[in-house]
Structure 1
Amino acid sequence: MADLHSTFTEFDGTIRLPSQKKDTLRGSRNSIRKDIKKYFDEKRDKHTVSFKGQGSYMMNTTIKPISSEYDLDDGVYIFGKEEDRPNVQTAHNWIFNAVKNRTSSESLDKNTCVRVIYKSDYHVDLPIYYKTDNSNDEYALDDEIPELAHLSKGWIQSDPYAFKKWFDEQAKSRSQLKRIVRYLKAWSDKKQNDNFSLRFPSGMVFTILASNYLVENERDDISLLETLKSIQSNIDNTRFNFASYECFRPTVDKNENLLDRYSADTTKSNFLNALDSFIKSGEQAIELQSKKDACAKWQKHLGNRFPCLSINEDKSNSSARVFSSPDQLSFDNKSA
């Protein structure tokens, strides 16, 4: 059986956020924070502001995108009395005005955040929260649930920092988890880069699924395959009678099924078929004797960045095994 653990760890080194880029993102984030603090110091008498990092950057699961931009999320927390709470558009306006001159690109006011765009291939999203209990500890988990300024829904409870703390606990004793999350994100990125109309679940969904259904193994290739199979057996209700197409948040809102957003017939079938195809390729790869042949199986799903060229072996080890029922993707007819 072909052991590709070292190939997977090499792939992880290729796709994970480089330290130099991480420093660049951190520097831009800190500059934006200074702009916002200055704006509040000069223009807001009844409110103060602080920040909490959130998202994949803080959880160390960011991957290098194939063709899209890096995304950094930094929560902006406005503190004030309940009677001084602004409407959501006003809160967005404050942050937009504070950062609008930070770069030469025009900032965007989106439903859930203000976005600062950097031309060097990344952007910083600034979701805006309101709280009455001011905590100066950026790393503390407060009792009061923050409320997000959502332009279409109003003020809604949301606590992404609590999610970050939850994931930290999940990964504390399972060092393999973050690598598996990055592999799943790389798979999603590759599939959507191949077909821009294809809609896969979010990185948060893959993070939760990997955390809930991780199967640890000393080899990353086996761990990934068994984790994919565990995910499938729990969410693919088209193939398994006792599965439920569900992925609930572990934090607020715990009643929200995040897969509901991806439940349209075509979206759901494309995702579940792609998952099934990935699993079949992984099963074939594990059984092959040739590392190069096994690598090619994984590469079809993880992309050309998966380092098959670095594998050296005697051609006599190449497998001639023929699979009588190659798995198919329903949306593009590519073999596994």
Structure 2
Amino acid sequence: MANLHDTFMEFNDIIYLSPQKKSELRTSRNSIRDDITKYFNEKRDKHTVKYKGQGSFSTNTCILPISGEYDVDDGVYIFGKEEDRPTPQTAHNWIYEAVKDRTNQDTIDKNTCVRVQYARNYHVDLPIYYKTTDTKDEYFFDSEDIPELAHKDKGWIESDPYAFRKWFINEARGKDQLKRIIRYLKAWTDNKSYLNLPSGMVFTILAVEHFTSMDRDDEALLKTLENIQEAIDDVKFWSASYSCYRPTVNTTENLMDKYASETRKKNFLEALDNFIISGKQALELKSRKDACAKWQRHLGSRFPCANIVEDDEQLAKSFVVPDVIRDNKSA
């Protein structure tokens, strides 16, 4: 059986956020924070502001996208009295004014955040929250005062990404393989972007809930994929439920509803099934290069098949055994 653990580890190094890039992104993020703090100190006497990192950058599961453009999410938390709460658009205007001159690129005011674009292939998204109490500690975490996100179309919406971050850090503590599996899943969705597969948050939750630790990353990825399929593919499995619920606010929201149209669901479940078929075939093949090609079909050209060296002695044994692995189904 082809063992591609080392190849997966090499792939992880390729898509992983390097310490140098992480430092660059953190420096840019902190400069933006300084701009916002200065603006509030000078122009907003009824409000104060603090920050919390969120998203894959804060959980150490982000990858280098094929596009080459990193995405950093940094939550901006405005504190004030209820009677001094601004409209979502006003809150966006404040943050936009504070950061609009940070770079020579266009700053974009989106529905759920203000985006600061950098020329060096990355951007910082600034979702904006409002809280009426401040616990005064470093992370100002207060489960009774749930932050509300400034959504320009939908108004103020309860949202607590820091609670999600705390949940993930607790679930992933000591599980480096789980974090790598999440990166592989994100690389798969990035390579298959034309299919509009579920978001990184969805796969993070599904991976945590269905992860199986194994000695090798190729085996662990396949087993995790199989577990996910058995849990959500209600076409193949009668006991499955096409669902993925947030582990934190809002726990009643089924994130799969966004991917429940007939076309999107069909594309996702078929892509998942094909990925699993290829993974099973790859594990059974004798040739590591042939096995790598199976994985590469789903993970993309960055998956480093060119560096594989065959075990000639092991491969020679395969010539006396009929090839029963290949079938007519494309995977």
Q: Provide TM-score, normalisation by structure 2.
A: 0.95
For 2:80, the equivalent position in structure 1 comes to: 80
For 2:158, the equivalent position in structure 1 comes to: 157
For 1:90, the equivalent position in structure 2 comes to: 90
Aligned residue among 190, 201, 213 for 1:216: 213
| Superimposed CA distance per residue, residues 228-263 of structure 1 (whole angstroms, 9 cap, x where no aligned partner) | 000000001111111111000000000000010011
Task: Give the alignment of 1:12-27 within 5 angstroms.
Answer: 12-27=12-27
For residue 7 of structure 1, give the secondary structure of its aligned residue in structure 2.
Answer: helix
For residue 52 of structure 2, give the secondary structure of its aligned residue in structure 1.
Answer: strand
Distance 1:48 1:275, change over 3 A: same
| Superimposed CA distance per residue, residues 189-216 of structure 1 (whole angstroms, 9 cap, x where no aligned partner) | 1111xx3xx2111000000000000011
Task: Give the alignment of 1:155-234 within 5 angstroms.
Answer: 155-192=156-193, 195=194, 198-234=195-231
For residue 104 of structure 1, give the secondary structure of its aligned residue in structure 2.
Answer: coil
Contact between 2:88 and 2:151, CA under 8 Å: does it hold in 1? yes
Q: Distance in 2 between matches of 1:146 and 1:30?
A: 22
| Superimposed CA distance per residue, residues 215-235 of structure 1 (whole angstroms, 9 cap, x where no aligned partner) | 110111100000000000000
Q: Distance in 1 between matches of 2:157 and 2:68?
A: 29
Q: How many angstroms does 1:136 deviate by?
A: 4.2
Q: How many angstroms does 1:175 deviate by?
A: 2.4
| Superimposed CA distance per residue, residues 133-155 of structure 1 (whole angstroms, 9 cap, x where no aligned partner) | 12443435323210100111101
For residue 250 of structure 1, give the secondary structure of its aligned residue in structure 2.
Answer: coil
Letter of the 1:325 counterpart = D
The answer on 1:281 being equivalent to 2:264 is: no
Q: Distance in 1 between matches of 2:311 and 2:227?
A: 34
For 1:330, the equivalent position in structure 2 comes to: none
For 1:108, the equivalent position in structure 2 comes to: 108
Contact between 1:52 and 1:138, CA under 8 Å: does it hold in 2? no
Q: Distance in 2 between matches of 1:42 and 1:313?
A: 65
Gaps of 5+ in 2: none
Task: Give the alignment of 1:230-241 within 5 angstroms.
Answer: 230-241=227-238
Q: Distance in 2 between matches of 1:136 and 1:13?
A: 39
Contact between 1:281 and 1:297, CA under 8 Å: does it hold in 2? yes
| Superimposed CA distance per residue, residues 38-85 of structure 1 (whole angstroms, 9 cap, x where no aligned partner) | 000000010000000000000000001111521000000000011100
Task: Give the alignment of 1:28-43 within 5 angstroms.
Answer: 28-43=28-43
Letter of the 2:274 counterpart = S
Q: Distance in 2 between matches of 1:161 and 1:107?
A: 25
For 1:247, the equivalent position in structure 2 comes to: 244
Distance 1:172 1:49, change over 3 A: same
Q: How many angstroms does 1:322 deviate by?
A: 5.2
Deviates more, 1:171-180 or 1:123-132: 171-180
Letter of the 1:48 counterpart = T
Letter of the 1:74 counterpart = D
Aligned length: 325
Aligned residue among 309, 324, 327 for 1:325: 327
Q: Percent identity?
A: 63
For residue 312 of structure 1, give the secondary structure of its aligned residue in structure 2.
Answer: coil
Q: Distance in 2 between matches of 1:72 and 1:285?
A: 34
Q: Distance in 1 between matches of 2:302 and 2:139?
A: 35
For 2:289, the equivalent position in structure 1 comes to: 292
Q: Provide TM-score, normalisation by structure 1.
A: 0.94
Q: How many angstroms does 1:307 deviate by?
A: 1.2
For 2:128, the equivalent position in structure 1 comes to: 128
Q: How many angstroms does 1:292 deviate by?
A: 1.2
Report runs of 4+ in structure 1 exceeding 4 Å deviation: none
Contact between 1:51 and 1:138, CA under 8 Å: does it hold in 2? no
Contact between 2:135 and 2:141, CA under 8 Å: does it hold in 1? no
| Superimposed CA distance per residue, residues 163-199 of structure 1 (whole angstroms, 9 cap, x where no aligned partner) | 001000110132211000000000101111xx3xx21
Deviates more, 1:1-10 or 1:41-50: 1-10
Distance 1:136 1:105, change over 3 A: farther
For 1:332, the equivalent position in structure 2 comes to: none
| Superimposed CA distance per residue, residues 61-118 of structure 1 (whole angstroms, 9 cap, x where no aligned partner) | 0001111521000000000011100111100100011001111111111111011111
Aligned residue among 246, 261, 265 for 2:258: 261
Contact between 1:72 and 1:124, CA under 8 Å: does it hold in 2? yes
Letter of the 1:212 counterpart = E
